[in-house]
Chains A and B, each alone.
Chain A
């Protein structure tokens, strides 16, 4: 119990002091996971929507594969990116290993299947509902995609949030490809793992609470945005 109370006061103290090392870690976490999310959305939304509407042989197998990839263990994603980016790997010449760029790549690999698989489900359901209507307006399959994406925007916003949650909270991939290098590739989750191994549970838990705090802020922000959009009638 004492540990938990100490963790609260540690977390509060960290925020109030605005410790520069902490700010650096938080900023890197947001940049890495934000960039990974942007890439994942840019890739996953069209991919998922296309898969939701298009009909072709092997489509079910592809969907099953995509759903399976949602459960990709972060350490495995990290290991794959490590082998890809290592100096003896096919992309070794980029010198990305143990840099934030490698972390973005690993998280993108982890999160894109989530965005794509969930988008596919959302769009498939909407397509079943609106296919006839859209056809009667003479709108073809491919032109229907933006309309359906727009119709599903609230659900898709939740999908994007879930993807961001996965990216910012994972530790397995970024610790393998980033290496948890101080002032360079140390993010919130790897810092938490480090403090736990050092036996400083209060600081670790304090950082964890800070991470949760961000999640609350982001989710609250989206909720406000959503309410605002409903009011405008968009």
Chain B
């Protein structure tokens, strides 16, 4: 009797296990099958546009109007461009004019249109050991930080902000290196994570205004230097070149770019605020005429 019971239970357990496995594997199927349902654009962009919430607002409105879903892959500008070079995305919304133009010149990008801009700000501990508060020149501020050996935290990740920071050091005729200068540190992390670190380390850092304003954990950090024309931070939208990347969805990329530069897109950018402050500014009207090129 017990033996028969044991055998029945064993068979039952075996069946149950098998059924469970099949059920779990079936759960994966709708994930794969759901892919082809709706047209979507794969957009590589930066953490600054995501973390500020602007990108969610833009893609929501664009989707409501066009029925095209935008899947946003938020990384640094350097990595976003690398995704583009590999042909793994359809379009880019990034902020490093120099490497964007190089991307188009190399034949990876078909066009680059300037969409909006904001600015970088120099942040640091509110005690301000290097005494850079309210300096009009960011290069002067950086020189002072270097002279005093005050701690500076760089992104060190080849992002748009990191490239801008390195340009500013060059403009200040300085070349701090993490392997040489003890006060110069590299986080190798995104903007938000680097802000968290700087706050714990009492370090100075360069950040975009949008991420700073929307960051939840500012601690003892303060905005110290702003308004220098060198801190201008333009964002461009790029579509992949079909000659190089035939699989990229050029029609959708063009449609998204055109919408970003349309009155609705530009108004969405203009009206996006955090604590009553605008985070991004649309580009001037005359630029919109010629961009994006073609139909």
Contacts and interface: CB of A to CB of B under 8 A. Distances in A.
Interface residues of B, number: 43
B21 A200 contact: no
A35 B22 CA distance: 9
Contacts of A143: none
A92 B195 CA distance: 36
Contacts of B73: 98, 179-181
B24 A35 contact: yes
Contacts of A179: 71, 73
B10 A150 contact: yes
Interface stretch (B26-34, B101-109, B164-172, B175-183): B26-34
B56 A182 contact: yes
A39 B51 contact: no
Contact of A104 (B10, B31, B193, B215): B31
A153 interface: yes
B86 interface: yes
Interface string A85-111: 011100000010111110010000000
B173 interface: no
A198 B51 contact: yes
B87 A101 contact: no
Contact of B196 (A32, A38, A42, A199): A199
A182 B45 CA distance: 13
In the complex, which of the residues B14, B51, B73 has the most CB atoms of chain A within 10 Å of its own CB atom? B73
Contact of A182 (B47, B72, B189, B195): B72
Interface residues of A, number: 36
A234 B9 contact: yes
Contact of B31 (A35, A86, A97, A201): A35
Contact of B35 (A99, A153, A234): A99
Contacts of B88: 86-87, 97-98
A146 B247 CA distance: 48
Nearest to A180: B74
A196 interface: yes
Contacts of A182: 56, 72
A92 to B, nearest CB: 8
B295 interface: no
B192 A198 contact: yes
29 contacts: A34-B28, A35-B25, A35-B31, A38-B28, A41-B21, A86-B87, A88-B87, A98-B42, A98-B71, A98-B88, A99-B35, A101-B28, A101-B35, A150-B10, A179-B71, A180-B73, A181-B72, A182-B72, A197-B51, A197-B191, A198-B214, A199-B196, A200-B217, A229-B9, A232-B6, A232-B9, A233-B5, A234-B10, A234-B13
Interface of B: 2, 5-6, 9-10, 12-14, 20-22, 24-25, 27-28, 31-32, 35, 42, 47, 51, 56, 71-74, 86-88, 189-193, 195-196, 214-218, 245, 247
